[in-house]
A and B are shown apart, each in its own frame.
Chain A
Amino acid sequence: MPAPRTALHRLTAAEAAALIATRELSPVDLLGSLLARIEATEPALRAWEVIDVERALAAARAAEEAVGRALRAGGRPPAPLFGIPFGVKDVIDVAGLPTGCGFEPFRARPAEADAGAVARLRGAGAIVLGKTATTQFAFRDPPPTRNPWREDRSPGGSSTGSAVAVAAGHVPFALGTQTSGSVLRPAAFNGVVGFKPTFGRVGRRGVFPAAWSLDHVGVLARSVEDCRLFLAAAEGPDAGDPASTSPAAGPRGAGAALPPRLGLLTAALDGSSAEVREHVTDAARRLEAAGARVEEVGSLPSLELAEAIQQVTMQCEMADLHRRLRRLHPDSYRPHLRAYLDVGAQLPGWAYVHAQRLRRRLALEMGRALDRHHALLLPTCVGVAPPVAAGTGDASLQAPFTLLGLPALSLPAPPGREGLPLAVQLVGRRGDDLGLLAVAAWCEERLPRPGPPPGLD
Chain B
Amino acid sequence: MDAYRELRDGLVRALGPERAAEPEVEAALRAAAAHLERVAEADPGPAEGLDARP
Are B40 and A354 interface neighbours, CB within 8 A? yes
Q: A346-B7, A358-B44 are in contact. Are A339 and B24 (CB under 8 A)?
A: yes
A298-342 residues at the B interface, CB under 8 angstroms: 304-305, 307-309, 311-312, 315, 335-336, 338-340, 342
For B45, list chain A residues within 8 Å (CB).
361
Count residues on chain A whose CB falls below 8 Å from chain B CBs. 27
Interface of A is mostly: helix
Are B32 and A357 interface neighbours, CB within 8 A? no
Instruction: Write the chain B residue with the least CB distance to A334.
Output: B24
Q: A311-B31, A342-B19, A347-B32 are in contact. Are A358 and B24 (CB under 8 A)?
A: no
Judge if A383 is at the interface, Cβ distance under 8 Å.
Answer: no
Are A346 and B38 interface neighbours, CB within 8 A? no
Bound Cα distance from A187 to B54, whole angstroms: 45
Instruction: Write the chain A residue with the least CB distance to B29.
Output: A343
Judge if A40 is at the interface, Cβ distance under 8 Å.
Answer: no
Are B36 and A339 interface neighbours, CB within 8 A? no
Q: How far is the CB of A299 from chain B (nearest CB, A)?
A: 15
Interface string of A366-405 (1 = CB under 8 A from B): 0000000000000000000000000000000000000000
Judge if A239 is at the interface, Cβ distance under 8 Å.
Answer: no
Judge if B17 is at the interface, Cβ distance under 8 Å.
Answer: no
Q: A308-B38, A315-B32 are in contact. Are A343 and B47 (CB under 8 A)?
A: no
Are A312 and B36 interface neighbours, CB within 8 A? yes
Determine which of B24, B39, B44 lies in contact with A335 in the assembled complex, contact meaning CB atoms within 8 Å: B24
Instruction: Write the chain B residue with the least CB distance to A350.
Output: B40
Q: How far is the CB of A275 from chain B (nearest CB, A)?
A: 26
Q: A312-B39, A361-B47 are in contact. Are A346 and B24 (CB under 8 A)?
A: no
Bound Cα distance from A377 to B31, whole angstroms: 28
Are A358 and B25 interface neighbours, CB within 8 A? no
For A342, list chain B residues within 8 Å (CB).
11, 14-15, 19, 25, 28
Judge if A285 is at the interface, Cβ distance under 8 Å.
Answer: no
Bound Cα distance from A211 to B43, whole angstroms: 24
Judge if A83 is at the interface, Cβ distance under 8 Å.
Answer: no
Are A343 and B44 interface neighbours, CB within 8 A? no
Which residues of A line the B interface, CB within 8 A?
A: 304-305, 307-309, 311-312, 315, 335-336, 338-340, 342-348, 351, 354-355, 357-358, 360-361
Question: What would 13 A/B residue contacts be, using CB atoms closer than 8 Å?
Answer: A312-B32, A315-B32, A338-B24, A342-B19, A342-B25, A343-B11, A343-B32, A345-B14, A346-B14, A351-B39, A354-B40, A354-B44, A361-B45
Given contacts A339-B25, A358-B42, A361-B45, could you give 17 more A-B pairs where the C-beta distance is less than 8 Å? Answer: A305-B38, A307-B35, A308-B35, A309-B39, A309-B42, A311-B31, A312-B36, A336-B24, A342-B19, A343-B25, A343-B29, A343-B32, A346-B10, A351-B36, A354-B44, A357-B44, A361-B47
Give the 9 A-B CB pairs with smallest separation, nearest first: A357-B44, A339-B24, A308-B38, A346-B10, A339-B28, A308-B35, A311-B35, A343-B28, A339-B25
